[in-house]
Amino acid sequence: MSRRQRTSPDTPTTGAAAGSYEIDSGIAELVPDTFLPDAWTLMINGVPSSHVQIGRPDVLEFEYMRWIAAIVEQQVAAHHDPSTLRVTHLGGAACTMARYFADLWPKSRHTVVELDSELAQYVRQWFDIPRSPTVKIRVGEAGEVTAGFHPASRDVIIRDAFAGARVPLHLTTPDFFRDVQNALAPGGLYVANCGDFHSLIATKTELAGMAEVFAHVAVIADPPMLKGRRSGNMILIGSDHELPEEGSPEAAGLARVLLGGAVPAHYKDERWTRDLFSGTAPRRLDNRHDHADGSTISLLEGPEGV
């Protein structure tokens, strides 16, 4: 994963300004980064959601986003043509990952699914997000939108959707994973950001559901998370195409990238991953829109693109 310096230091700023803003789901806050020029952390209801440096889409400040980028870049290089790549981002916030990949692969096309229509409007004003068709922001609920995708219409689907600090439960079930698999073209890749506690119960449950649908599964996280010693982010990976196996050149190359960051992470292949969730049952829900707190998510209708 490269750190390219393609943008001039006098790249103009956008409409970002520090402060709190009312959005459909509560309060968005823009907090300036005191270390990087023209950089911002987007907080949603007090939870850090995204980081953006204006004019520098290649900068990924959040470590878990670097880990997502590492596996996506490795798999795209192995199985896809970047000039025709179709990527869907479930959970938009500041569109950090869409900016990054659109900069890396200028001919790729990105659909960002964002539940909050006010937030979608704001991030277009605040940040230098490429315009549609390069990056299209679609307002809608991630599960419903995914269920409506045409078969084999996406190459990569990235889920980074949260309600507060938790992933909505209906986005962690085999039913949802089947919708994802149906939308992916042959050789497609599913990557999910799973926030979890030291027990790793959420990770194990999701992986059990993913393994019911995808032929191959793997994970990325830092060593303390993999050993169940703290709370944090686990990156869950699913595909019907074989994923790198431990000891292979592909896994070794991925390991070099993951170990090079400020927070080193490890890639764990299918054998390790299946051992992790062995004996765990997938999550089943009667209502596919059950929220993490037991309530239901009201589906937000909005324009097709922003």
Is pLDDT above 90 for 5?
A: no
Please check whether residue 109 lies inside any domain of the structure: yes
pLDDT of residue 294: 37
pLDDT of residue 8: 36
Q: For the chain, what is the mean pLDDT? A: 90
Each residue's pLDDT tens digit, 13-29: 578 999 999 999 999 99
Amino acid at 55: G
Please check whether residue 285 lies inside any domain of the structure: no
Q: How confident is the model at residue 11 (pLDDT cuts 50, 70, 90)?
A: very low
Please check whether residue 303 lies inside any domain of the structure: no
Please check whether residue 181 lies inside any domain of the structure: yes
Please check whether residue 119 lies inside any domain of the structure: yes
Identify the CA nearest to 95 among candidates 119, 75, 70.
119
Please check whether residue 306 lies inside any domain of the structure: no
Identify the CA nearest to 233 among candidates 276, 198, 185, 259.
198
pLDDT of residue 247: 95
Domain that holds residue 160: 62-277
CATH code of the domain covering residue 263: 3.40.50.150
Categorise residue 208: left if φ over 0, alpha if ψ from -120 to 50, beta otherwise.
alpha
Helix pair 201-213, 174-183: axis angle to 10 deg? 50
Q: How confident is the model at residue 287 (pLDDT cuts 50, 70, 90)?
A: low
pLDDT of residue 258: 97
Please check whether residue 13 lies inside any domain of the structure: no
Q: Give how many domains the chain has, as a whole number.
A: 1
Please check whether residue 291 lies inside any domain of the structure: no
Cis peptide before 133 (omega within 30 of 0): yes
